[in-house]
């Protein structure tokens, strides 16, 4: 009895110590989910950003198929991480997402310098000041489309452009399957 009590006390102290010593800040599952998400911060999932969506998925509040920019790849990765069945992308997301990477472009002729787009940009990719022309830093733009009208009060001022393909960005196409002629690679 005494031995068991002592052992319980020792383990209790040990566990208490371990809980303080190895305490992990934040939720590791949320961080893992967040790492899979593309960080477009577009809010198409119904949450105000990727992290809130990650939290919602972790708590079971949101489904894994709500991320439009992540597409099938993200759904598969989330399914793998959480041990759930993969499913097709939610139908509510619509078909406005192209596979091509897009960036916003501000037409400097029509920009009135209202700073509204600067206020909504989730990654601070727009520079400019009140009553001065604004511009998008292409390297930082995630293509979230949050700055498009109605946020931008001017029609045809902010438009989405596909990123111009370069040799560095180019991807080899998938080789044809068996018994089909293949092309491209040196024979």
Partner 1 sequence: MMIKRILKKTLLQKPFLKKECKLHGGIKLQGFKSLSNATAVQILSVPPQLIIPLKQHIGEAAKPIVNVGDLVYKGQIIAEPNGYISSPVHASSSGVVAAIEARPIPHASPIKETCIVIHTDRKDQWHPFVQSTPEPLALPPEDLRQRIRDAGIAGLGGAVFPSAVKLKPTSDITTLIINGVECEPYITCDDVLMRHHADAIIQGALLLARIVRPQKIIVAIEDNKPQAFQSVTNAINRLKAAGAAAANTIHAAQVPEIFPAGGEKQLIKVLTGKEVPSGSLPYELGIICINVGTTAAIYDALYKGQPLVSRIMTVTGEGLDAPGNYRVLLGTPIHYVLANAGVARQHNAEVIMGGPMMGVAIADHAAPVVKATNCLLIKNTRQIRQPPASMPCIRCGRCATVCPITLLPQQLYWHARSKEFDKLPAYHIDDCIECGCCQVVCPAKLPLVHYFRFAKSELKARERERKKADVSRLRNEARQVRSEKARIEQEERKARRKAARKQVITPETNPDQSTPDSLNASSLQGVAPEPQTHENTSMVKHEDQTKTMAR
Please report, as residue ranges, which positions from 75 to 104 form the binding site for partner 1 (by CB under 8 A). none
Question: What is the nearest approach in angstroms of partner 1 to the Cβ of residue 62?
Answer: 18
Kindly state whether residue 179 participates in binding partner 1, applying the rule CB under 8 A: yes
Question: What is the nearest approach in angstroms of partner 1 to the Cβ of residue 4?
Answer: 48
What span, in angstroms and rounded, lies between the C-alpha atoms of 108 and 111? 5
- Region of 87-95, 105-113, 128-136, 164-172 interacting with partner 1 (CB under 8 A): 164-172
What span, in angstroms and rounded, lies between the C-alpha atoms of 58 and 33? 8
Taking each helix axis from N to C end, the angle separating 50-58 and 28-36, rounded to the nearest 10 degrees, works out to: 130
Kindly state whether residue 44 participates in binding partner 1, applying the rule CB under 8 A: no
Residues facing 26 on adjacent strands: none
Would you give the binding string for partner 1 spanning residues 58-77, x where CB under 8 A is met?
--------------------
- Region of 20-28, 56-64, 127-135, 169-177 interacting with partner 1 (CB under 8 A): 169-177
Of 69, 82, 67, give the one whose Cα is nearest residue 32. 82
Q: Which residues of 36-54 are buried (b: 16+ CB within 10 A; e: fewer)?
A: bbbbbbbbbbebebbbbbb
Which residues bind to partner 1, rule: CB under 8 A? 34, 37-41, 49-51, 122-125, 140, 142, 164-167, 169-176, 178-187
């Amino acid at each position: 009895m005494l031995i068991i009590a002592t052992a319980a006390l020792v383990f209790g102290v040990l566990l208490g110590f371990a809980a303080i010593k190895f305490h992990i800040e934040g939720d590791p599952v949320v961080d893992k989910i967040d790492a899979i998400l593309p960080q477009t911060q577009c809010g198409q999932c119904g949450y105000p950003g990727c992290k809130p969506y990650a939290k919602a998925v972790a708590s079971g509040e949101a489904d894994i198929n709500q991320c439009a920019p992540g597409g099938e790849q993200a759904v598969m990765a989330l399914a793998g991480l959480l041990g759930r069945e993969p499913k097709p992308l939610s139908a509510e997301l619509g078909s406005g997402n192209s596979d091509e990477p897009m960036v916003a472009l501000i037409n400097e002729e029509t920009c009135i310098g209202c700073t509204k787009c600067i206020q909504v940009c989730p990654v601070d990719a727009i520079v400019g000041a009140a009553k001065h022309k604004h511009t998008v830093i292409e390297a930082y733009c995630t293509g979230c489309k949050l700055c498009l009208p109605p946020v931008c009060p001017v029609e045809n001022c902010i438009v989405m452009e596909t990123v111009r393909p370069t040799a560095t960005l180019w991807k080899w196409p998938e080789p044809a399957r068996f018994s089909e002629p293949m092309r491209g690679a040196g024979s």
